[in-house]
């Protein structure tokens, strides 16, 4: 098959089947993929997304499910079925229109990489979650067939033995996020309710600092409900407000008006989209050190990074010293969608070169078909 014109690439983006692209509420992966798809199309590439639900991007879209299956998030079968459906869709797309690279954002999708290699296709996998445990075992077993992209340097440091092809920080389209310089008198926790996210520490810090806390996020799975009942509900006072799940528009309003975002994580979070979302709105971040926090937040410039939970309250008292314009500027310069697309372009071409080097005869034949 002939290559795309002007050296541009033909890319299949395989996305999970749980939420629309972009998501209407919860869905950090889907938000990143939406901005990536738009930026790649603007760069001149031919992009086809393979997933479920509705498509709000500039890319072409192949829905392999009748509708998104958000209610089945966490079940094993949808992931298995989606892996099979995506494999068929990629094969058919390659046979009819031709592809250069498959970019997978799902859990089970990397299992298709050995088959895609027989078609001469490189498989790039963005690691959106932790690299230890089950996912690490999966990636190691497929190391000869996949090329991994880390979403932070810290994520990559924690698994130096995996087949990394590059590191590309997540990003967003800055024009989609409202900037607000004058803030209201509340701190915000925005994220799923889980012990690792530290909402209980956010409550403790807000109470110690004497500021109301708004808590918004997903609380639907059993582990989330159990955590909320055990750690959150008993701590809440009349000054706190449980917002529940915020949709895309509501999330922007909450972030833009907040005095600060509290991000007291308790694990090695590989990125944290809410960090750049808050800063894009001109809202400083108060976080515990961990994961990629120090790569994203400029300490003393766009937020305050603490080493211990007892330091959070004092950080809240000092957060007025952070300039909202500096927060917006950091995202504009470092975490923009154009930079996101350029990073993945480099990863795609490097992965394609590796695939050709491993099986030059087969790859050349596949590209000529």
Domain coverage including residue 95: 5-173+336-368
| Total domains, the chain | 2
Q: What SS3 class is residue 319?
A: helix
Same domain? For 88 and 25 the reply is yes
State yes or no: cis peptide before 77, omega within 30 of 0: no
Same domain? For 229 and 346 the reply is no
User: pLDDT per position in the chain (369 positions), as tens?
Assistant: 445 556 799 999 999 999 889 887 777 899 999 999 999 999 999 999 999 988 999 999 999 998 888 888 878 899 999 999 999 999 999 999 999 999 999 999 999 999 999 999 999 999 998 888 888 999 999 999 999 999 999 999 999 999 999 999 999 999 999 999 999 999 999 999 999 999 999 999 999 999 999 999 999 889 999 999 999 999 999 999 999 999 989 999 999 999 999 999 999 999 999 999 999 999 999 999 999 999 999 999 999 999 999 999 999 999 999 999 999 999 999 999 999 999 999 999 999 999 888 765 544 444 444
Same domain? For 142 and 184 the reply is no
Same domain? For 158 and 272 the reply is no
Same domain? For 277 and 342 the reply is no
DSSP H or E run through 139: helix 133-141
Same domain? For 136 and 271 the reply is no
Whether the Cβ atoms of residue 129 and residue 104 lie closer than 8 Å to each other = no
Q: What is the Cα–Cα distance from 350 to 353, expressed in whole angstroms?
A: 5
Strands (E), 222-335: 241-244, 260-263, 285-288, 303-306
Whether the Cβ atoms of residue 261 and residue 285 lie closer than 8 Å to each other = yes
Of 111, 75, 68, 69, the C-alpha closest to 90 is 111
Domain CATH code at residue 360: 3.40.50.2000
Same domain? For 164 and 184 the reply is no
The contacts of residue 104 (CB under 8 Å, 6+ apart) are: 14, 86, 110, 112, 113, 123, 124, 125, 126
Same domain? For 60 and 200 the reply is no
In terms of phi and psi (left: phi > 0; alpha: psi -120 to 50; beta: otherwise), the region of 133 is: left
Which two tokens mark 177?
């996020």
Same domain? For 223 and 77 the reply is no
Q: What is the Cα–Cα distance from 22 to 363, expressed in whole angstroms?
A: 34
Same domain? For 161 and 186 the reply is no
- Tell me the β-bridge partners of 187: 213, 260
Whether the Cβ atoms of residue 238 and residue 203 lie closer than 8 Å to each other = no
């Amino acid at each position: 098959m002939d290559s795309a014109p002007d050296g541009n690439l033909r890319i299949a983006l395989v996305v999970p089947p749980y939420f629309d692209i972009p998501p209407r509420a919860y869905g950090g992966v889907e938000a990143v993929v939406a901005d990536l798809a738009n930026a790649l199309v603007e760069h001149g590439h031919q992009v086809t997304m393979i997933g479920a639900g509705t498509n709000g991007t500039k890319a072409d879209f192949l829905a392999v499910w009748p509708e998104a299956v958000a209610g089945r998030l966490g079940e094993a079968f949808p992931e298995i079925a989606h892996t099979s459906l995506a494999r068929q869709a990629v094969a058919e797309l390659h046979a009819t229109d031709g592809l250069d690279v498959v970019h997978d954002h799902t859990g089970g999708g990397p299992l298709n990489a050995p088959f895609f290699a027989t078609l001469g296709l490189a498989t790039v996998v963005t690691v959106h979650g932790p690299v230890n445990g089950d996912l690490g075992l999966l990636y190691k077993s497929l190391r000869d067939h996949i090329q991994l992209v880390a979403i932070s340097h810290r994520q990559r440091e924690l698994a130096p033995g995996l087949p990394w092809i590059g590191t590309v920080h997540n990003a967003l389209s800055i024009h989609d996020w409202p900037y607000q310089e004058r803030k209201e008198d509340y701190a915000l926790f925005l994220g799923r309710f889980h012990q690792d996210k530290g909402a209980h520490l956010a409550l403790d810090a807000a109470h110690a600092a004497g500021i109301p806390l708004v808590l918004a996020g997903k609380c639907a799975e059993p582990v989330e409900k159990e955590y909320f009942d055990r750690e959150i509900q008993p701590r809440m006072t009349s000054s706190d407000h449980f917002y529940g799940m915020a949709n895309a528009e509501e999330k922007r309003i909450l972030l833009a008006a907040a005095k600060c975002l509290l991000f007291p994580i308790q694990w090695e979070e590989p990125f944290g989209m809410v960090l750049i979302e808050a800063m894009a709105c001109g809202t400083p971040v108060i976080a515990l050190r961990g994961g990629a926090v120090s790569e994203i937040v400029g300490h003393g410039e766009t937020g305050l990074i603490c080493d211990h939970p007892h330091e959070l309250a004092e950080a809240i008292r000092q957060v007025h010293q952070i300039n909202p314009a500096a927060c917006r500027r950091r995202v504009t310069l470092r975490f923009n969608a154009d930079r996101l697309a350029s990073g993945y372009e480099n990863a795609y071409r490097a992965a394609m070169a590796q695939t050709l080097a491993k099986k030059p005869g087969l790859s050349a034949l596949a590209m000529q078909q």
